[in-house]
């Protein structure tokens, strides 16, 4: 096979190609895509999750590029921005530990409240409030200084800036019927559909004034042959100097060379990020765990990583990446492995794109020099919520509906890697579109009332000190001495709210947003989404008192190919680096039998109701690796937290 | 850590893949398979030798090898052995013993370890010996042991198929650490007809037709892993995980030398402390990265013949035979997809209500545990990416950019075995990824890629986001994305596969004696159909 032909073609093509290169910091969060079209002008349709009622692709199509054919648009668009850099965290013994780390650059108030920084396009694309008097303006020093109580806070992409508008002078304006042709003194910088404000040209041309605000015209055509600038007059392609729009009324006068006539486009968001704000907020603002991400099945997820550099290690010109750990059928390009893909340099942004994979508890981390960057703290949590949450009606019917699209189907007969075939037992459990499940189980067995991400990790303080002080780290000698749940050691695990840590600049930065207090109203079920990201050994986590029901492992439902649930109950789980596991802590002793959506008795317990709850009180999660119940030299602390069962 | 080692560590750490690149350039692409020797009679010997590590060290070790030429080698694609196939008197791991279910297996073991090492033996977990301790044998605690220079015979029936470990049953804390371990693969006696007919199930035999079309050979040992239709596979790899504490090895060498020196006392024997245990080498098939990606039987590793360098095409069911051979557990993370565990230690895991259904877990991290063998199936198809991995462009003037995709009952293009996009996931066919691409790939997609000056890339980057040389050259031209610093191991015009890192996720184990990268790490490549996977090189 020869490629010469292709390459010649490319050479020709490149003469016309104008790739959108050149912006270093840039976020990407479209309001519509092929998969999530938006025919309404509101640009809000993809910012909320629609109910799931039927498959996207109920049958094979000959052309999938025109949007869905015959099915429903499912899911939404979700966006998030994170920084890659460094920061400090507080250990249980009061020590400040240096980290290579990710920090939040979107959804900051949500992160500070212990939630995900994943937001909808309508939120993400809100321009950053640079005007100090704006209602959602951020106080100087944000995020370390939070807005006053009651003030509107900013949840969008930090630094997102309006493009500077183009303002061009007008050479001539004329009207034919209602069609106005404006000729500029330069090549028209607008595109069809752009909103343009005309001023200083004359009555009828100047943009309509409504309530003291100029209402722009919408450009209908660009490239209009005209008698002023054309080839004959020595202006190549002179048509590119003119554009058209439709005026309200006919009969406007011809206007030639108005003294102060201008045409300006309306300032808009294109993803350009102002480096000042991105650096102001992003530098030395690392979190452990790294910002939480949460998406729903069928979502398109745009994650922008902005590399702000590591202030404490100016000798390093490190790239960072995001590896979506456990994503089935990942692409190498977005897999985050620098050896097999690309990695963003300091001063640049890279947007990772995935259609949400099957529901489950995943996690993410940097994949640059993993023994170093993971030990240093570049590890975060990520989960995908199931389609079943958005379904109303019998759950078995809902799962069966998902069999109608080959992408969402699970057939044991033809796919050895699918984990949630139709359940062997039809329980009759149903959802009303508001109940939450860990997986598309079809039988209601993964129902939960409250969920807690729980990241197991460990730091070797010597490695971190060596990493901060420009020295090479040894790997074989790595010896972890801080053992953490969500980046905190006991007793910090039971401190509510985000933790702050003073940095080298003497300023407190949010460092550990997630407490690890497992609070469960008596009688309810808690889903623990546990991930293990330490880099040196296996860790065990035990539950004192409340049994752990393991329902998922490595982001897959525990179910055999014949549909039998393989859940097991235990009081301890053991994980090595790079594993995840889903545990239900059930605080109900006796449950009623489930009632079907038609009101008849179903099979098995109703996990949404409780007849007799267990005793309220404080229970514990702790590690039976007893040397891990320590904070470096303190022989008290480590990987331990409280399960608080509150009276209901 | 000594000052010298420290310097080495920082240099390699920051100039990351140079060692890897150099090694790859000198060798070229190499693939893997699951090579071994055939029986059913095996003449093994336990012998000392030095094995090589990528930090330049040679490590004194003990291993099993062949005392005489084996009765044969497997696999034998096109009826011939893999190039340079051999079985020396010492290798790590020991020779992979390949037999068929029901065969009576005879293993003759000769102890050629230093006299001071004392007896040695082999345990075959999962099989029952049918003969008493014999010949020069001495009954040890666990099994019959061969004294220095003695030969003994183990006989057992390969009662059930699957992958299992074998290893020394004599002073295992030292002898297994020194390298006395290996694998035994029992092939099923009744390969199900559906497996023999070939995959995929929607178009039986089309994968074989694709192989024929592109001139590929079949490197499998069998068409199924077990006597069960859910265990058909297209390709297979064997990975044995172990670690080494160099202090144990240097102590052993020092004591062996002392015991064999003139004037050493009679009965001088080893007393090597095996605790505290502090491993610095983390190996897959006896090699550390990047050596593990060099060919099987490569000349530079006379005592480490087996590699770890998996390749596969989209849709191919790939059998992973994974064994933990050391003292530690290692969380082996497979990028790209999950692995369906078929069996543990040769025991197929089936549903308790339906023995035609599998019940093993789906894992993205397969924990290797000392002495535990597991079989699993992996595949990659790109299903659900929501963009066309082949960069098909319906507006192109190039026929290869406009290939059709006809979904089978599962949504894959399996009816076209001679097409580059055999096994393409049709729901994403023609779907653009880039908003305004440079090359001959579809436009109007959701993302804009960054300026190439803003990112770095690596030696396994195929040069574009797209799969295969045809798509990559259409997307970015024959040199790939600038700067073409990487792509050495995965050329844009030659392979342009999707590379995925398979590695221990206790990440400090992807180092070789404090040097990153190294250790338990390899790259798995998914290659589009036009790239010929030749596991013999």
Q: Is the pLDDT of residue A92 over 90?
A: yes
What parts of chain B have a pLDDT lower than 70? 1-30, 480-487, 537
Strand, helix or coil at B249? helix
- Rounded distance, CA B223 to CA B66, Å? 28
Q: What is the pLDDT of residue B480?
A: 66
Q: What is the pLDDT of residue A40?
A: 74
Using alpha carbons, select from B126, B46, B35 the residue that is nearest to residue B90: B46
Q: Give the closest of A21, A338, A535 to B456, CB-based.
A: A338
Q: Is the pLDDT of residue A612 over 60?
A: yes
CB-based contact, A577 to chain B, within 8 Å:
yes
Q: Give the closest of B363, B430, B513 to A476, CB-based.
A: B513
Cα angle at B262 between B260 and B266, to 5 degrees?
65
Q: What is the pLDDT of residue A41?
A: 64
pLDDT digits (tens, 9 = 90+) for A526-557: 999 999 999 999 999 999 999 999 999 999 99
Interface with chain A: mutation pick from B360, B362, B366, B368, highest number of A CBs within 10 Å: B362
Phi, psi (5° rounding) for residue B521?
-150, 135
Residue B487: CB partners within 8 Å, gap ≥ 6?
B457, B459, B460, B461, B462, B463, B480
Residues of chain A with pLDDT > 70, as a percent, come to 91
CB-based contact, A408 to chain B, within 8 Å:
no
Choose between B43 and A258: higher pLDDT.
Answer: B43
Give B191 to chain A, closest Cα distance, Å: 18
For residue B509, the 8-state DSSP code is: G
Q: Is the pLDDT of residue A146 over 80?
A: no
Q: What is the pLDDT of residue A7?
A: 36
CB-based contact, A58 to chain B, within 8 Å:
no
- Rounded distance, CA B308 to CA A641, Å? 42
Partner B, chain A 513-532, Cβ-Cβ below 8 Å: none
B499–A476 CB contact, under 8 Å: no
Asked if residue B27 lies in contact with residue B294, where contact means CB atoms within 8 angstroms, the answer is yes
A21 contact residues in B (CB cutoff 8 A): 450-452
B362 contact residues in A (CB cutoff 8 A): 417, 419, 553-554, 556
Structure tokens at A271: 């993803």
B381–A57 CB contact, under 8 Å: no
Asked if residue A591 lies in contact with residue A605, where contact means CB atoms within 8 angstroms, the answer is yes
- Residue A162's pLDDT band, with cuts at 50, 70 and 90, is confident
Give A545 to chain B, closest Cα distance, Å: 27
Give A62 to chain B, closest Cα distance, Å: 8
pLDDT digits (tens, 9 = 90+) for A200-209: 998 899 998 8
Minimal-distance CA residue of chain A relative to B337: A328
Give the CA distances from residue B444 to residues A35, A68, B434, in Å, rounded to whole numbers and listed in that order.
Answer: 12, 16, 6
Q: Is the pLDDT of residue A467 over 60?
A: yes
pLDDT digits (tens, 9 = 90+) for A206-236: 998 888 888 899 999 998 988 888 766 666 7
Interface with chain A: mutation pick from B281, B335, B457, highest number of A CBs within 10 Å: B335
- Residue A151's pLDDT band, with cuts at 50, 70 and 90, is low
Domains present along chain A, CATH in parentheses: 167-266 (2.40.30), 402-646 (2.60.40.420)
B505–A63 CB contact, under 8 Å: no
Q: What is the pLDDT of residue B27?
A: 40
pLDDT digits (tens, 9 = 90+) for B341-385: 999 999 999 999 999 999 999 999 999 999 999 999 999 999 999
For residue A467, the 8-state DSSP code is: H
3-class DSSP string for A397-416:
HHHHHHCCCCCCCCCCCCCC
Partner B, chain A 12-41, Cβ-Cβ below 8 Å: 13-14, 17-24, 26, 28, 30, 33-35
Strand, helix or coil at B27? helix
Q: Give the closest of B428, B446, B503 to A33, CB-based.
A: B446
A474–B514 CB contact, under 8 Å: yes
Minimal-distance CA residue of chain A relative to B244: A476
pTM for the full model?
A: 0.92
Give B460 to chain A, closest Cα distance, Å: 4
Interface confidence, given as ipTM, is: 0.93
Q: What is the pLDDT of residue A132?
A: 64
Cα radius of gyration (chain B): 24
Minimal-distance CA residue of chain B relative to A363: B364
Give B215 to chain A, closest Cα distance, Å: 15
């Amino acid at each position: 096979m020869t490629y010469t032909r292709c390459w010649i073609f490319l050479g020709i093509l490149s003469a016309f190609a104008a790739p959108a290169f050149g912006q270093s910091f840039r976020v990407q969060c479209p309001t519509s895509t092929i998969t999530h079209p938006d025919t309404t002008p509101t640009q809000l349709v993809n910012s909320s999750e629609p109910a799931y009622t039927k498959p996207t692709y109920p049958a094979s199509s000959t052309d999938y590029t025109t949007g869905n054919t015959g099915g429903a648009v499912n899911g939404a668009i979700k966006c998030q921005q994170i920084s890659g850099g460094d920061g400090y965290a507080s250990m249980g013994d009061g020590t400040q530990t240096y980290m290579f780390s990710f920090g939040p650059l979107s959804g900051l108030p949500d992160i500070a409240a212990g939630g995900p920084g994943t937001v909808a396009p309508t939120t993400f694309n809100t321009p950053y409030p640079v005007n100090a008097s704006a209602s959602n303006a951020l106080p100087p020093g944000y995020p370390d200084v939070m807005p006053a109580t009651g003030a509107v806070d900013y949840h969008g992409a930090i630094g997102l800036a309006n493009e500077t508008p183009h303002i061009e002078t007008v050479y001539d304006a004329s009207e034919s019927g209602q069609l106005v042709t404006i000729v500029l003194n330069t090549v028209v910088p607008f595109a069809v559909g752009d909103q343009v404000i005309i001023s200083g040209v004359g009555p009828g041309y100047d943009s309509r004034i409504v309530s003291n605000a100029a209402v722009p015209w919408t450009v209908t055509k660009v490239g209009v042959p005209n008698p002023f600038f054309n080839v004959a007059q020595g202006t190549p392609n002179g048509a590119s100097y003119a554009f058209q729009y439709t005026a309200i009324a006919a009969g406007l006068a011809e206007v030639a060379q108005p003294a102060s006539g201008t045409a300006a486009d309306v300032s808009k968001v294109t993803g350009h990020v102002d480096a000042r704000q991105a650096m102001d907020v992003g530098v030395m603002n690392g979190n452990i765990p790294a910002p939480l991400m949460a998406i729903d099945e069928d979502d398109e997820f745009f994650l922008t990583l902005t590399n702000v550099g590591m202030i404490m290690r100016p000798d390093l010109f490190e790239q960072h990446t995001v590896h979506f750990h456990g994503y089935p059928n990942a692409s190498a390009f977005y897999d985050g492995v620098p050896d097999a893909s690309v990695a963003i340099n300091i001063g640049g942004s890279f947007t990772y794109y995935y259609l949400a994979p099957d529901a489950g508890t995943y996690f993410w981390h940097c994949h640059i020099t993993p023994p170093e960057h993971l030990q240093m703290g570049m590890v975060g949590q990520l989960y995908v919520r199931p389609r079943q949450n958005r379904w109303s009606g019998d759950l078995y019917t809902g799962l069966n509906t998902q069999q109608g699209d080959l992408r969402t189907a699970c057939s044991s007969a033809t796919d050895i890697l699918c984990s949630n075939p139709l359940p062997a037992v039809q329980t009759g459990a149903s959802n009303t579109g508001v109940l939450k499940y860990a997986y598309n189980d079809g039988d209601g067995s993964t129902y939960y009332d409250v969920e807690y991400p729980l990241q197991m990790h460990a730091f070797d303080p010597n490695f971190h000190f060596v990493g901060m002080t420009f020295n090479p780290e040894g790997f074989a000698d790595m010896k972890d001495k801080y053992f953490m749940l969500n980046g905190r050691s006991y007793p910090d695990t039971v401190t509510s709210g985000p933790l702050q840590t003073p940095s080298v600049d003497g300023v407190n930065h949010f460092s550990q947003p997630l407490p690890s207090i497992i609070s469960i109203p008596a009688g309810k079920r808690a889903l623990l989404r546990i991930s293990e990201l330490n880099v040196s050994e296996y860790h065990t986590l035990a539950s004192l008192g409340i049994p752990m029901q393991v329902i998922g492992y490595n982001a897959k439902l525990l179910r055999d190919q014949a549909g039998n649930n393989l859940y097991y109950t235990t009081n301890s789980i053991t994980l090595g680096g790079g594993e995840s596991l889903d545990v239900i802590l059930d605080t109900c002793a006796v449950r009623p039998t489930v009632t079907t959506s038609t009101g008849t008795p179903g099979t098995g317990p109703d996990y949404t109701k409780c007849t007799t709850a267990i005793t309220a009180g404080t229970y514990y999660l702790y590690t039976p690796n007893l040397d891990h119940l320590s904070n470096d030299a303190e022989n008290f602390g480590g990987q331990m937290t409280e399960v608080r069962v509150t009276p209901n | 850590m000594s000052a010298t080692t420290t310097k080495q560590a920082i240099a390699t750490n920051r100039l990351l893949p140079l060692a890897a690149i150099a090694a790859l350039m000198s060798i070229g692409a190499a693939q893997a398979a699951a090579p071994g020797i055939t029986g059913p009679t095996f003449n093994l010997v336990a012998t000392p030798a030095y094995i090589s590590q990528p930090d330049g060290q040679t490590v004194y070790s003990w291993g099993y090898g062949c005392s005489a030429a084996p009765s044969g080698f497997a696999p034998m694609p096109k009826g011939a052995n893999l190039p340079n196939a051999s079985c020396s008197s010492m290798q790590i791991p020991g020779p992979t013993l390949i037999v068929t279910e029901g065969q009576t297996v005879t293993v003759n073991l000769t102890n050629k370890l230093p006299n001071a090492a004392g007896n040695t033996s082999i345990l075959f977990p999962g099989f029952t010996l049918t003969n008493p301790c014999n010949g020069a044998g001495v009954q040890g605690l666990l099994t019959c042991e061969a004294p220095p220079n003695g030969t003994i015979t183990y006989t057992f029936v390969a009662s059930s198929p699957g992958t299992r470990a074998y290893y020394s049953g004599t002073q295992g804390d030292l002898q297994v650490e020194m390298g006395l371990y290996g694998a035994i693969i029992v092939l099923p006696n009744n390969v199900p007809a559906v497996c023999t007919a070939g995959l995929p199930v929607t178009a039986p035999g089309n994968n074989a037709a694709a192989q024929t079309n592109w001139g590929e050979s079949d490197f499998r040992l069998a068409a199924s892993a077990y006597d069960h239709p859910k265990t058909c596979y297209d390709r297979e790899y064997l990975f044995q995980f172990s670690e080494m504490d160099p202090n144990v090895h240097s102590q052993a060498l020092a004591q062996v030398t002392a015991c064999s020196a003139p004037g050493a006392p009679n009965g001088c024997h080893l007393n090597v402390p095996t605790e505290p245990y502090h491993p610095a080498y983390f190996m897959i098939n006896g090699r550390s990265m990047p050596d593990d990606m060099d060919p099987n039987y490569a000349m530079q590793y006379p005592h480490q013949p087996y590699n770890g360098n998996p390749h596969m095409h989209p849709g191919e069911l790939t059998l992973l035979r994974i064994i933990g051979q050391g003292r530690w557990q290692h969380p082996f993370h497979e990028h790209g997809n999950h692995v369906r565990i078929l069996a543990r230690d040769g025991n197929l895991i089936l549903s308790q209500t339906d023995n035609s259904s599998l019940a093993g877990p789906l894992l993205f991290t397969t924990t290797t545990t000392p002495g535990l063998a597991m079989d699993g199936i992996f595949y990659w198809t790109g299903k659900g990416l929501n963009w066309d991995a082949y960069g098909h462009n319906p507006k192109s003037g190039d026929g290869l950019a406009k290939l059709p995709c006809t979904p089978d009952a599962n949504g894959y293009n399996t009816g076209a075995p001679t097409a580059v996009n055999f096994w393409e996931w049709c729901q994403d066919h023609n779907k653009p990824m880039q908003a305004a691409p440079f090359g001959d790939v579809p436009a109007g997609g959701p993302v804009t890629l960054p300026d190439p000056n803003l990112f770095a890339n690596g030696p396994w980057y195929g040069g574009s986001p797209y799969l295969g040389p045809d798509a990559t050259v259409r997307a970015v031209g024959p040199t790939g994305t600038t700067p073409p610093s990487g792509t050495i191991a995965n050329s844009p015009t030659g392979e342009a596969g999707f590379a995925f890192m398979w590695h221990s996720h206790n990440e400090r184990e992807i180092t070789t004696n404090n040097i990153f990268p190294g250790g338990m790490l390899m790259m798995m490549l998914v290659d589009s159909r036009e790239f010929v996977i030749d596991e013999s090189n």
